């Protein structure tokens, strides 16, 4: 499950970007009831981008911001309780790690769903059913 975390430089203290990535990944697993699932944990992957000041925008104005984007199979993040819970927790994680400097309304989160079969786990192409079986097997 690729996570793309993009932050404006200075939003988090140097080194806290990795802490944020890990906490966001663990929160995603938690909200899907998958904490400790070996298959899922090793497939939480992603990238971290730190943009120079003035290279993130809101309302078409340069502003410090955080962008959290998940790319997931079509069955993930479908439960409104999971959406609300994760988005609330993820916003709190970034706000807290910023020392309260980044306002909550400057944390932007979205989820992109992959087409069934357009996914892989451990280097193997998989359908949603096959991903479900891998998760069940742990």
Per-residue pLDDT of 78-116, as tens digits, reads 999 999 999 999 999 999 999 999 999 999 999 999 999
Residue 129: strand, helix, or coil = helix
Instruction: Quote the pLDDT of residue 40.
Output: 93
Range of the domain at 12: 2-137
Residue 53: strand, helix, or coil = coil
Q: How far apart are the C-alpha atoms of 6 and 85, rounded to whole Å?
A: 21
Instruction: Quote the pLDDT of residue 6.
Output: 98
- Report the CATH number at residue 126: 3.30.429.10
Q: How far apart are the C-alpha atoms of 121 and 133, rounded to whole Å?
A: 11
Element (H, E) at 69: strand 66-73
Instruction: Quote the pLDDT of residue 138.
Output: 81
Contact 38, 138 (CB under 8 A): yes
> pTM for this structure?
0.94
Terminus-to-terminus CA distance in the chain, angstroms? 15
- Fill in the DSSP letter of residue 115: P
**Tokens linked to 23:** 């906490």
Number of domains in the chain: 1
Kindly give the interhelix angle for 80-97 and 16-31, rounded to the nearest 10 degrees: 160
Contact 32, 102 (CB under 8 A): no
Q: How far is CA 47 from CA 9, 71, 132, in A?
A: 15, 12, 24
Instruction: Quote the pLDDT of residue 122.
Output: 83
Q: Tens digit of pLDDT per residue, the chain (138 long)?
A: 899 999 999 999 999 999 999 999 999 999 999 999 999 999 999 999 999 999 999 999 999 999 999 999 999 999 999 999 999 999 999 999 999 999 999 999 999 999 999 988 888 899 999 999 998 998
């Amino acid at each position: 499950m690729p996570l793309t975390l993009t932050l404006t430089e200075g939003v988090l203290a140097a080194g806290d970007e990795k802490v944020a990535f890990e906490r966001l990944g663990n929160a995603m697993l938690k909200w899907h009831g998958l904490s400790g699932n070996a298959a899922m944990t090793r497939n939480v992957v992603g990238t971290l981008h730190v943009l120079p000041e003035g290279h993130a925008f809101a309302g078409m104005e340069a502003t410090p911001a955080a962008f959290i984007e998940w790319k997931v199979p079509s069955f993930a993040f479908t439960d409104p309780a999971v959406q609300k819970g994760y988005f609330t927790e993820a916003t709190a994680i970034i706000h807290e790690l910023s020392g309260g400097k980044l306002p909550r309304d400057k944390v932007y989160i979205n989820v992109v769903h992959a087409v069934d079969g357009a996914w892989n786990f451990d280097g193997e192409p998989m359908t949603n059913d096959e991903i479900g079986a891998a998760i069940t097997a742990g």
